[in-house]
């Protein structure tokens, strides 16, 4: 095989891409991972919240691999939380149990990348794929120079703005609704319960999304929010929304008077559900590139790990035995599809009420912890589904 030819080229070295690369390389195939960053896991693009293995057994009930893939060494865990608090737009608080780890995301990502390298994959950083042909001829730019590379199969793990996804004909039907810009600060000297993760809703807080406080331990927390432009005020920057939340929210501001912001990072979260097609005859999409994000809460690490392993196994079967890559889409739909589409349905229901803080508050109070805990877990209880359909009809009539 020529020097710049590979069995598999993975574009993107996040959890999904490196998990897929590990599986493929371990099967003996020549594997390259290309990533535009200079260092794996930097910058951090999430709140570092990861449900425990036991929670994963409940969250993704059709995937036997999910609970195994989220098991991580204690050294990567900065804090353990045991409950979730949801605050309505009118500051009503709802608590329920949810066990999770707050992780060191940089080292988490680096661990998965190291596993891929140990399996035989090569990782090429500070490199950007700028073009892909249908025959998997890739043009990669590194240090100002362009190089041509070829692969039998390409795995697109290159995030919500995936070039690989676009080359397969996918696009966002409504970017203002389906993409959620987010901003996260690491804040020190904050007063918070180390066992409680907090989520805040309201059009003044995070229109079309929510704000969060995720305790990292030692009076440090991730404070951030995600919003969708379709629901927001035009031209108001994300940092202004977050500044108001930290400085003026009645449940937050008393606890942040002495706080210091030590780092800031922004990201785009795809919340439009799985993309139209996650495979072709010689390519598959994983992670954010595939839209494998829980649309109602923005969670994407578990589905990235599960989808990455499924993709790796499908590619191995394709290269070894000629099995169609359609098996990849069939398998992820079986294992995580129900939750992904339920989460999208929940978000669409929320879209009907989120423009009104009063209605959002009333809906949250009617649901209460009994049903909110199911909605957060991307399950739609029958009473909530029925009530939402009735509400949609009423709102349509009022319009």
- Give pLDDT tens digits for 86-135: 999 999 999 999 999 999 999 999 999 999 999 999 999 999 999 999 99
Evaluate if residue 385 carries a pLDDT over 80.
no
> Tokens 């030692």, residue?
218
Provide CB contacts within 8 A for 222, sequence distance 6+. 47, 48, 102, 184, 185, 186, 187, 212, 213, 214, 216
Strand partners, 79: 102
Evaluate if residue 188 carries a pLDDT over 60.
yes
Evaluate if residue 392 carries a pLDDT over 90.
no
The Cα 307–Cα 329 span in angstroms is: 9
CB atoms within 10 A of CB 111: 18
Evaluate if residue 46 carries a pLDDT over 90.
no
> Which pLDDT tens digit goes with each residue over 287-318?
999 999 999 999 999 999 999 999 999 999 99
Residue 118 in tokens: 């140990």
For residues 183-208, average pLDDT: 96
Strand partners, 122: 32
Evaluate if residue 16 carries a pLDDT over 60.
yes
Name the more confident of 43 and 328.
328
Helix, strand, coil proportions of the chain in percent (round to 5)?
40, 25, 35
The Cα 12–Cα 158 span in angstroms is: 5
Beta strands in the chain (DSSP E): 5-11, 31-34, 49-51, 77-87, 93-103, 122-124, 127-132, 137-142, 145-156, 179-188, 196-200, 210-217, 220-226, 260-270, 283-285
Angle at which helix 338-353 crosses helix 357-376, to 10 degrees, equals 170
> Tokens 């080229």, residue?
9
CB atoms within 10 A of CB 389: 11
pLDDT (0 to 100) of residue 386: 62
CB atoms within 10 A of CB 333: 16
For residues 23-27, average pLDDT: 98
Angle at which helix 15-26 crosses helix 301-321, to 10 degrees, equals 30
pLDDT (0 to 100) of residue 394: 56
> Tokens 């595939």, residue?
290
Percentage of the chain lying above the pLDDT 70 cut: 96
Report CA-CA distances (Å) from 97 to 51, 370, 390: 12, 11, 29
CB atoms within 10 A of CB 365: 13
The Cα 138–Cα 152 span in angstroms is: 11
* Burial of 189 from C-beta contacts in 10 A (0-12 / 13-18 / 19+): middle
pLDDT band at 395 (very low <50, low <70, confident <90, very high): low
Average pLDDT, the chain: 94
CB atoms within 10 A of CB 323: 15
pLDDT (0 to 100) of residue 380: 84
Is residue 124 within 8 A of residue 32, CB to CB? The reply is yes
Residue 223 in tokens: 């404070």
> Which pLDDT tens digit goes with each residue over 250-289?
999 999 999 999 999 999 999 999 999 999 999 999 999 9
For residues 9-31, average pLDDT: 98
Q: Is 278 helix (H, G, I), strand (E, B) or coil?
A: coil
The Cα 132–Cα 24 span in angstroms is: 21
Is residue 340 within 8 A of residue 294, CB to CB? The reply is yes
The Cα 154–Cα 139 span in angstroms is: 13
* Burial of 118 from C-beta contacts in 10 A (0-12 / 13-18 / 19+): exposed
Residue 259 in tokens: 């706080």
Give me the phi and psi of 162, to 5 degrees please.
-50, 120
The Cα 366–Cα 370 span in angstroms is: 10
pLDDT (0 to 100) of residue 35: 98
């Amino acid at each position: 095989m020529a020097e710049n030819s590979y069995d598999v080229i993975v574009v993107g070295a996040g959890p999904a891409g490196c998990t897929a690369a590990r599986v493929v390389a371990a099967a003996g195939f020549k594997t390259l991972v290309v990533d535009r960053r200079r260092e794996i896991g930097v910058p951090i693009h999430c709140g570092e919240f990861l449900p425990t293995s036991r929670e994963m057994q409940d969250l993704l009930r059709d995937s036997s691999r999910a609970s195994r893939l989220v098991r991580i060494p204690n050294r990567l865990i900065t804090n353990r939380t045991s409950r979730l608090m949801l605050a309505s737009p009118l500051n009503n608080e709802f608590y329920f149990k949810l066990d999770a780890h707050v992780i060191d995301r940089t080292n988490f990502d680096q661990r998965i990348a190291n596993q891929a390298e140990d399996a035989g994959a090569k990782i090429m950083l500070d490199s950007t794929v700028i073009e892909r042909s249908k025959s998997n001829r890739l043009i990669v730019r590194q240090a100002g120079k362009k190089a041509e590379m070829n692969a039998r199969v390409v795995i697109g793990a290159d995030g919500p703005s995936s070039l690989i996804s676009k080359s397969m004909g996918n696009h966002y039907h409504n970017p203002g609704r389906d993409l959620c810009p987010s901003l996260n600060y690491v804040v020190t000297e904050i007063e918070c319960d180390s066992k409680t993760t907090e989520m805040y809703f309201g059009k003044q807080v995070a229109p079309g999304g929510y704000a969060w406080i995720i305790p990292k331990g030692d009076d440090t927390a991730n404070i951030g929010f995600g919003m969708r432009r379709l629901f927001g005020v035009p031209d108001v920057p994300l940092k202004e929304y977050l500044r108001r939340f930290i400085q003026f929210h009645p449940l937050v501001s008393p606890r942040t008077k002495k706080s210091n912001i030590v780092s800031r990072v922004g990201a785009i979260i795809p919340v439009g559900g799985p993309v139209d097609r996650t495979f072709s005859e010689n390519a598959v999409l994983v992670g954010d590139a595939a839209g494998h994000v829980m649309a109602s809460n923005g969670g994407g690490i578990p589905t990235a790990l599960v989808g990455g392993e499924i993709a790796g196994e499908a590619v191995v079967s394709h290269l070894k035995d000629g099995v169609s890559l359609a098996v990849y889409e069939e398998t992820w739909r079986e294992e995580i599809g129900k939750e992904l589409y339920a989460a999208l349905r929940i978000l669409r229901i929320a879209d009907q009420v989120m423009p009104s803080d009063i209605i959002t508050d009333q809906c949250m109070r009617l649901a209460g912890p009994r049903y909110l805990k199911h909605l957060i877990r991307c399950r739609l209880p029958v009473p909530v589904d029925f009530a939402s359909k009735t509400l949609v009809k009423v709102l349509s009539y009022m319009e």
